[in-house]
Structure 1
Amino acid sequence: MNIRITSIPVIFLLFILASCNQNEEKHIEFENDRLEQIENHTNKVVLSSEVKWEKLNPVRGDDSPQAGTIRGNRNGTKPTGFLAKFADGFSSPPHIHNVTYRAVVIKGSIHNDDPNASTMWMKPGSFWTQPIGESHITSAKGNENIALVEIDHGPYLVQPIEEAYDNGERPVNIDASNIVWLGSDKSTWIDSKSDVQLSFLWENKQSRSIFIKFPASYTGKLESNGSALHAVIIQGELNYDMPKQKQKILDAGSYFSSIDTAIHTISNVTQQDVLVYIRTNGNIKIY
């Protein structure tokens, strides 16, 4: 009797452990199936080497900055993101734009402000906004000066300051040194085991933009649940696993995106942080 009484709990315990292992295996299979299903269709990558450059303001001829569109169409009506390249010593005349834009410095030093403002050179990782209708100048210095520029709709036009007006918006200039970073203890978007950091830059009813800083030796996934996610590498180099394709190496100015719920598998195999700018109309999870 003693043998029977002590052996029943042992058998029951083994049954429970076996059931747990089966459930765990099913959970892993479910997660793998889910990742495979999500990753199959909408992930897209544009390498910086694939960007095609043209004159940003053709009427200025050879004095015009260069523009390389990575999504949308500057001359159309859809939301657009493009790279703007300025020659060393470039300085625009005072002017306005017919749309508000947001921008991030990728390379070099860029100044953007009221024509009478003191020069403030913004380094890579700095963020600024330029309201519609407000007079300003843009200058650059350095061997290579590149910024990411985003507009909510086109066409993107340069207009004379005689047409300037105040629409109530105020420009924002945030130097890279003044970015406020949040870790997993401050944001539920970051897994508690991750050293990734993020910073919220702006938000409206349609979308938001954030910086994400991936530390050295990071390997993980970025999941988004919105109908659109646009990401541009601002600093560093990121390895990106395209579904059913070879791994892509994304350097500064490269771009990845997705439509609808998606998972982006990425890694930072370098010994430096990688800074990514993301615009999305949903939430994200980094793990």
Structure 2
Amino acid sequence: MKFRIITALVVATSLMACAQTNSSTIADETKEATSLTIENLTNAVVLSSEVKWEKLNPARGDASPQAGTLWGDRKGKVATGFLGKFADGFSSPPHIHNVTYRAVVISGSIHNDDPSAEKMWMKPGSFWTQPVGEAHITAAKGDENIAYVEIDHGPYLVKPTEEAFDNGERPVTIDASNVVWLSSDKAEWIAPNSGAALSFLWENENLKGLFIKLPQGFKGRINSEGDIFHAVVIQGNLAYKLPQSGETKAVDAGSYFTSSTKAKHDLITSEEVVIYGRTNGELEVM
């Protein structure tokens, strides 16, 4: 049996280079970002109600979980983010995948571990990784069990354990209660007095993944500098204003917003919101 443990100390120190705050620098950058004009608007929103569901593993027929692609193509070779939906009481047979994936629980309770491991139920806001080639099972319990799943390249395939192998990667599990949040005094991407917080989860070359937490009553913006920005709402509800039309969208958990150029994402929250973001550039929460 394998236990997957990651301590708050590891999370807090993994990307501490991002956590040096300079108040005057933030003020200057905030002023510059506020006056910045975006010429090529690429903002887009996919609501959870617009997600198209299909069988994640068609070979299992009606016993298969459902999958809804948010971006990319999990059947192709490109990086992809999709939702996985599991029935109450679902438990997969032992299997492996041909690619490593990362995942975040959005609703319900999900277990993912060695076939012989005791159940360790992950609640919404928990994060885990599943290394390529490693035998495991996935189980779920609850009226609605949904996770966001992300791969760096596809296709995403399910294979038998007879093909299992060890490529040196080790799984990571961060329970929602163990997430370490960095506020504006520790993270330079957060403007002072915004009430927001960040938690850095992973970094791979120029890409990184993180949680963004916005407080109830937040009325502000996430500025994204990269040409890759994918954001999935994990918890809570927010209003998102599309700059192209001025239309405001009601965005709930499982919904997604994105941009492929430098962009401003105007948001209003009526409750605390947690967002998972994937980007190759810097962010500013203001």
TM-score after normalising by structure 2: 0.87
- State the 4+ residue runs in structure 1 displaced beyond 3 angstroms: 30-33
Could you tell me how far apart the structure 1 residues matched to 2:33 and 2:198 are? 26
Could you tell me how far apart the structure 2 residues matched to 1:32 and 1:130 are? 40
What SS does structure 2 have at the residue aligned with 1:134? coil
Q: CA deviation at 1:225?
A: 0.8
Gap runs ≥5 in structure 2: 1-30
Aligned in 2, Cα 1:101/1:31: closer, same or farther, shift over 3 Å? closer
Could you tell me how far apart the structure 2 residues matched to 1:206 and 1:132 are? 21
* Alignment correspondent of 2:285: 286
Asked which structure has the greater CA Rg, the reply is 1
What SS does structure 2 have at the residue aligned with 1:212? strand
Give the % identical residues: 64
1:75-126 superposed Cα distances (whole Å, 9 cap, x missing partner): 1011100000000000000000000000000000000001111210000000
Matches within 5 A, 1:68-217: 68-217=68-217
- In structure 1, what residue type is equivalent to 2:260? I
* Alignment correspondent of 2:228: 228
1:156-209 superposed Cα distances (whole Å, 9 cap, x missing partner): 000000000000000011100000000000010000121101100011103100
What SS does structure 2 have at the residue aligned with 1:187? coil
Contact 2:129 2:173 in 1 (8 A): yes
Could you tell me how far apart the structure 2 residues matched to 1:231 and 1:31 are? 20
* Alignment correspondent of 2:61: 61
Aligned in 2, Cα 1:117/1:32: closer, same or farther, shift over 3 Å? closer
Q: CA deviation at 1:245?
A: 3.3
* Alignment correspondent of 2:275: 276
Aligned in 2, Cα 1:31/1:195: closer, same or farther, shift over 3 Å? closer
Could you tell me how far apart the structure 2 residues matched to 1:91 and 1:183 are? 38
Aligned in 2, Cα 1:191/1:137: closer, same or farther, shift over 3 Å? same
Contact 2:33 2:223 in 1 (8 A): no
Could you tell me how far apart the structure 2 residues matched to 1:151 and 1:86 are? 19
Could you tell me how far apart the structure 2 residues matched to 1:65 and 1:284 are? 34
1:235-264 superposed Cα distances (whole Å, 9 cap, x missing partner): 100110101231011000000000121111
Could you tell me how far apart the structure 2 residues matched to 1:52 and 1:226 are? 27
* Alignment correspondent of 2:252: 251
Q: CA deviation at 1:227?
A: 1.1
Q: CA deviation at 1:142?
A: 0.2
RMSD: 1.3
Could you tell me how far apart the structure 1 residues matched to 2:264 and 2:255 are? 18
Could you tell me how far apart the structure 1 residues matched to 2:35 and 2:142 are? 48
* Alignment correspondent of 1:34: 36
Could you tell me how far apart the structure 2 residues matched to 1:231 and 1:198 are? 13
- In structure 2, what residue type is equivalent to 1:123? K
Aligned in 2, Cα 1:178/1:245: closer, same or farther, shift over 3 Å? same
* Alignment correspondent of 1:8: none
* Alignment correspondent of 2:4: none
Q: Greater relative contact order: 1 or 2 (C-alpha under 8 angstroms, separation 6 or more)?
A: 2
Q: CA deviation at 1:31?
A: 6.8
Could you tell me how far apart the structure 1 residues matched to 2:279 and 2:64 are? 31
Q: CA deviation at 1:34?
A: 2.9
Aligned in 2, Cα 1:32/1:278: closer, same or farther, shift over 3 Å? closer
Could you tell me how far apart the structure 2 residues matched to 1:242 and 1:113 are? 40
What SS does structure 1 have at the residue aligned with 2:193? coil
Could you tell me how far apart the structure 1 residues matched to 2:206 and 2:96 are? 24
- In structure 2, what residue type is equivalent to 1:34? L
